Chain A
Amino acid sequence: MPIKIMIVDDSQFMRALLKKILVAEFTVVGEATNGIEAVKMYEKLNPDIVTMDVVMPKMDGITATSHIVKRNPEAKVVMCTSVGQEEKIKKAISAGAKGYVNKPFQAPKVLQEIKSVISA
């Protein structure tokens, strides 16, 4: 059974970059461009795991994560943060994120973190 993954990032470039990294091992079922879209898309698609950007318009990734986790406490969300956003990582973990990867993305680290969250 392929693992379904959803990408959330407002940057088209970052979504494309992540997709390029992920498609080798996972099935990308959806891409959302902000937190509001992410919450709606999560309910509709019920993915196995979500990669979530932090800084986005309309609704940020931390708020979106807390909404998703409130609806499904088992939801697996991996935050995509920039180096130096330690405070945001803490907030994201409090909101229910299960892991994080630093931007700029390095493919092996992204895949390793996602696999580790899936198998946890």
Chain B
Amino acid sequence: MEGEVNKLIHFKIMGDKGAERAVESLSMMLDTDVNMNISSVNMVSLITIPDIVGSDEVVSLFSPFMGTVSGSMFCLLSPDSTKKIASVLLGDFDEEESDGMFDEMQQSAAAEIGNIITSSFVDVWADTFGIELSHEPPSFTYDFADAIVDNVLIEASQSGDFVIFFNSTLNVTNMDIDFNILMMPDPESLQKVFDLFENVEPESVTE
């Protein structure tokens, strides 16, 4: 039990560091103050995600990562939060006509946010453990949470895996954007991550 708590504490610290890096990049890009907070971290089964985030339609920004450890990372946002963050990024870009909920530019802008967050988290893992990691650009999906989870399971070619669930909030230009970050190492990689925790000095996680 104590071991599990320690792992979650490590994940929380690394999540906070990832958030710090993401804030730095987002502030530069948007040229405004950005705050990001990770209120909690849990390890949960992927199939329980719709129960946690609600089974309504959500936006998923899905990005596989690979290297010494491999897996997938994705951000889940409500449609409202996605519209808000896209509007901040797009500013005075011309709006496109679209039949769907999100036009291509909004999807691309939201994916860029996903890219920054994924890069920040993946880089923190790589630096902390001294390993090589890279990731693919995020893909944008708008669907019901159940369908998103099914797709993630298909894309990851796995079932019943655990995800590290970061409950997060972003504040940009006085707008609160709720979203969740999920990291899902492949099963053999998850064990590798736990082994890496054993070998890493506590100060390299906390510094």
Chain A residues engaging chain B, CB cutoff 8 angstroms? 10-14, 16, 20, 55-57, 82-84, 87, 103-106
**Contact status A82-B25, CB under 8 Å:** yes
Contact partner of B93 (CB less than 8 A), chosen from A11, A16, A83, is A16
Give the docked Cα–Cα distance between A106 and B132 (Å). Answer: 28
The contact size tier of chain B is 20 to 34
What secondary structure prevails in chain A residues at the interface with B? loop
**Contact status A56-B137, CB under 8 Å:** yes
**Contact status B112-A13, CB under 8 Å:** yes
- Determine the chain A residues whose CB is within 8 A of the CB of B184 once the complex forms: none
Chain B residues engaging chain A, CB cutoff 8 angstroms? 21, 24-26, 28-30, 89-90, 93, 104-105, 107-109, 111-112, 115-116, 119, 123, 127, 132, 134-137
Contact partner of B111 (CB less than 8 A), chosen from A11, A57, A87, A105, is A11
- Determine the chain B residues whose CB is within 8 A of the CB of A104 once the complex forms: 25-26, 28-30, 116
**Contact status A13-B137, CB under 8 Å:** no
Give the docked Cα–Cα distance between A106 and B25 (Å). Answer: 11
Give the docked Cα–Cα distance between A25 and B89 (Å). Answer: 23
Give the docked Cα–Cα distance between A83 and B109 (Å). Answer: 18
- Determine the chain B residues whose CB is within 8 A of the CB of A56 once the complex forms: 137
- Determine the chain B residues whose CB is within 8 A of the CB of A55 once the complex forms: 134-137
Contact partner of A84 (CB less than 8 A), chosen from B26, B28, B123, B136, is B123
**Contact status B137-A103, CB under 8 Å:** no
CB-CB under 8 A for A13 and B136, given A104-B25, A104-B28, A106-B28: no
Closest to A88 in B: B134
Give the docked Cα–Cα distance between A56 and B136 (Å). Answer: 7
Closest to A105 in B: B29
Contact partner of A83 (CB less than 8 A), chosen from B25, B90, B107, is B25
Closest to A13 in B: B108
Give the docked Cα–Cα distance between A57 and B63 (Å). Answer: 12
A13 to chain B, nearest CB (A): 4
